Structure 1
Amino acid sequence: MAPILTTLLLPFSWLYAAVLAARNWLYDRGWKASTAFTEVPVLSVGNLRVGGTGKTPHVAWLVAWLRARGQQPALLSRGYGRRTRGYRLATAADSAATVGDEPWQQFGQFGGAVPVAVSEDRVAGIRQLLAEVPSLTAVVLDDAYQHRRVRPAVNILLSEQQRPFYADEVLPAGRLRESRAGAARADAVIITKCAPDLSAAARATITRQVRRYSRASVPVLFSSYDYGPPVPVPGTAAGRMAAPMGGSEVMLLTGIAQPGPLLAHLAAAGYCVTHHARFADHHVFTPAEIAALAAQCQPGQCVLTTQKDAARLQEPALAASVADLPVFYIPITVRFLADGEARLAALLGSYFPLPAVG
């Protein structure tokens, strides 16, 4: 956003921030109800900024860590972009349209072994999950940092290195959902999408900036992405051809907030992106858009996309459009820098200790 426009919008940001600060003050004082669950630990992953901080892969890391610890976690989110309302526990009969693209991606990523539910009311959603799945030992809330009606056992705040919360403004002058002071609620802060070789000096500088707003004892951790080889998207022609290698000409289809890191990875891996069909985050693809993409796809060329976009491409309404289009998604996993994984595991370990041996 242009500096002049930012300056002009600041008074509106201050007004919005004041309203949110009053709301948070009421929760902090107990004048607005906030529910803590004693049955199982509730872990929240979220951010202060609108979109693009890497919530989904970090939630996946957390779920995988819990499962490796012998736990049975469940995922609960609002289900942004779905065409349904109320509580819904995902099954194989669902789709991105019924539960939202990110929950549907998560359901598929864990092969249905992890319960994934959506509910606008997180309190009611957690209660329903506990009633339906009594074997649960943890509930992970996706994108619930501002959902103060639930008081989580652990509150994890994500902030992108290139767009840190401490250098941003509240909407509409910036992209923050609430003021920077909201970082004080975090039990851990993870700076995401870092360069794998981010220096210790740079990490220390960022940590000092974060500590202006977080609690002094809160760990500040750093993570980067590891990109896997292309994976065929089910229902497309990708299953009938070899995955593209570095040096290939490819097309790119994205409907995410920040495609920049993926573009940088593809360039570093030697791919030549001849066309990028870029749409807004959570965009619902139409048959006409897929047809337009297919018209530009040259013989032997394929389309690369993200795992979240792949979830939306598997909508029944798009089945005929994508059937002859070779589409591969690029999987992403989170990797912590330095001792970040050990420090986060130490924080979580107080709630999920290793089982006794012998």
Structure 2
Amino acid sequence: MNLLRKLLFPFAILYGTIISIRNFLFDAGVLKSYSFDLPVIVVGNLSVGGTGKTPQIEYLIRLLSDKYKIATLSRGYKRQSAGFVLAQAGTNAKILGDEPFQFFQKFPSIQVAVDADRKNGIEQLLSLPEKPEVILLDDAFQHRKVKAGLYILLTSYGDLYSDDFMLPTGNLRESRSGAKRADVIIVTKCPFNLSLDEQKKINKTLKVTPNQELYFTFIAYEEFIYGEKRKINVNEIQVAAKVLVAGIAKPEPFFAYLQDTNDVCLSFPDHHNFTDKDILEIKNVAQNNIIITTEKDYVRLKGSLPGEQLFYLPIQSSFVSGSENFDKTILDYVGKSTTNNKLY
């Protein structure tokens, strides 16, 4: 923790107090939460950025989209639009935001929408001729105006919410006690061989309650990088000269997975909107070498860098163990909700 963050400690106490009062008012029913007659699943976190919400949402899409009509609803961070927007032909990352646009490109069978007001966003989705049967709310754990049916809380291995503090001294959006609202807690970005002893230790550290399920996931990288017209096996480019570009919260694992001795790594802020100056810098550094970026950055860089040079490396969320139990929890919740409730 740097000196400035320590000096801002009184503001963290004030901010924490305000958020706690807000949560109390929602819990007491003074501030109203709205429920909807279809399965609504929230994926979120207590801290700002970097817990792996996007691959977790994609995991749920893959699990559910063959059986149900799925819609994702995000805020659309840093998008150049306002209000409710439903992705359609001609929509781009500037209109939707990078992560929703990534969903739109990868999963053409689902509906992708953005709205900072999640209640309004759900109402707009349910007013469409093709109504969704399941809505996945991305990064909405603190959006108490909507009462979801299932809450999935993510926290990063090595950066657990139990070891953090409120903004601006720490990175928490709300106090650790907010974790009690979660039905499922997932520790993300773990070592793939995380031991049972360490899993038990983390369970105790997080103070997981008997009515909560705890899982551990790791980031699995695909075997290929993908460009506009071709794909290349990662093994083939491991020792090739290349430039690695990332505008994500914690790019170190991405760099470490691909980097060779003479490679150049260019790091930008999370959700960075690449300027003409940035593009020129990347071109000058890369020359004729390939450029590899994250999937999230690719949707913003595509068209600005030469298509024959630009590639991205997809990732997926994989469970250390217990994926069958997790899938069952999700499928049971969605199945019972769609059977017992009359959809709008």
User: What is the TM-score when the length of structure 1 is the normalising length?
Assistant: 0.89
Q: Percent identity?
A: 37
Aligned-partner residue type, residue 294 of structure 1: K
Tell me what 1:222 maps to. 216
The whole-number CA distance in structure 2 between the counterparts of 1:222 and 1:242 is 30
Tell me what 2:50 maps to. 52
Q: Alignment partner for residue 308 of structure 1, among 285, 288, 296?
A: 296
CA apart distance, 1:75:
0.3
Tell me what 1:207 maps to. 203
Q: Alignment partner for residue 271 of structure 2, among 265, 282, 285?
A: 282
- Answer yes or no: is the 8 Å Cα contact 1:230–1:328 preserved in 2: no
1:189-212 per-position Cα deviation (integer Å, ceiling 9, x unaligned):
00000000000000000011111x
Tell me what 2:225 maps to. 231
1:297 lines up with 2:286 in the alignment: yes
- Answer yes or no: is the 8 Å Cα contact 2:65–2:110 preserved in 1: no
Higher mean C-alpha displacement, 343-352 vs 55-64: 343-352
1:159 lines up with 2:155 in the alignment: yes
1:275-321 per-position Cα deviation (integer Å, ceiling 9, x unaligned):
1111101110122211221112243x21110000011113xxxx3x4
The whole-number CA distance in structure 1 between the counterparts of 2:284 and 2:224 is 22
CA apart distance, 1:228:
0.8
The whole-number CA distance in structure 2 between the counterparts of 1:142 and 1:240 is 31
- Answer yes or no: is the 8 Å Cα contact 1:294–1:325 preserved in 2: no
The whole-number CA distance in structure 2 between the counterparts of 1:241 and 1:113 is 23
Aligned-partner residue type, residue 284 of structure 1: N
3-state SS of the aligned residue for 2:143? coil
Pairing of 1:297-336 with structure 2 (within 5 A)? 297-299=286-288, 301-314=289-302, 319=303, 321-323=304-306, 326-336=309-319
Q: Are the structure 2 counterparts of residues 108 and 75 from structure 1 closer, same or farther at C-alpha, using a change threshold of 3 Å?
A: same
The whole-number CA distance in structure 1 between the counterparts of 2:172 and 2:39 is 27
The whole-number CA distance in structure 1 between the counterparts of 2:225 and 2:321 is 29
Structure 1 residue runs of 4 or more that deviate by more than 6 Å after TM superposition: none
The runs of 5 or more residues in structure 2 that have no matched partner are 340-344
1:259 lines up with 2:260 in the alignment: no
Q: Are the structure 2 counterparts of residues 255 and 136 from structure 1 closer, same or farther at C-alpha, using a change threshold of 3 Å?
A: same
- Answer yes or no: is the 8 Å Cα contact 2:134–2:334 preserved in 1: no
Tell me what 1:141 maps to. 137
Q: Are the structure 2 counterparts of residues 183 and 273 from structure 1 closer, same or farther at C-alpha, using a change threshold of 3 Å?
A: farther
Q: Are the structure 2 counterparts of residues 50 and 273 from structure 1 closer, same or farther at C-alpha, using a change threshold of 3 Å?
A: farther
Q: Are the structure 2 counterparts of residues 209 and 273 from structure 1 closer, same or farther at C-alpha, using a change threshold of 3 Å?
A: farther
Q: Are the structure 2 counterparts of residues 92 and 344 from structure 1 closer, same or farther at C-alpha, using a change threshold of 3 Å?
A: same
Aligned-partner residue type, residue 292 of structure 2: L
C-alpha RMSD of matched pairs (Å): 2.0
Aligned residues: 336
Aligned-partner residue type, residue 257 of structure 2: H
Q: Alignment partner for residue 76 of structure 2, among 60, 74, 79?
A: 79
- Answer yes or no: is the 8 Å Cα contact 1:225–1:333 preserved in 2: yes
Tell me what 1:172 maps to. 168
Q: Are the structure 2 counterparts of residues 154 and 248 from structure 1 closer, same or farther at C-alpha, using a change threshold of 3 Å?
A: same
Aligned-partner residue type, residue 90 of structure 2: A
- Answer yes or no: is the 8 Å Cα contact 1:285–1:312 preserved in 2: yes
CA apart distance, 1:123:
0.6
The whole-number CA distance in structure 2 between the counterparts of 1:122 and 1:162 is 31
Q: Are the structure 2 counterparts of residues 272 and 325 from structure 1 closer, same or farther at C-alpha, using a change threshold of 3 Å?
A: farther
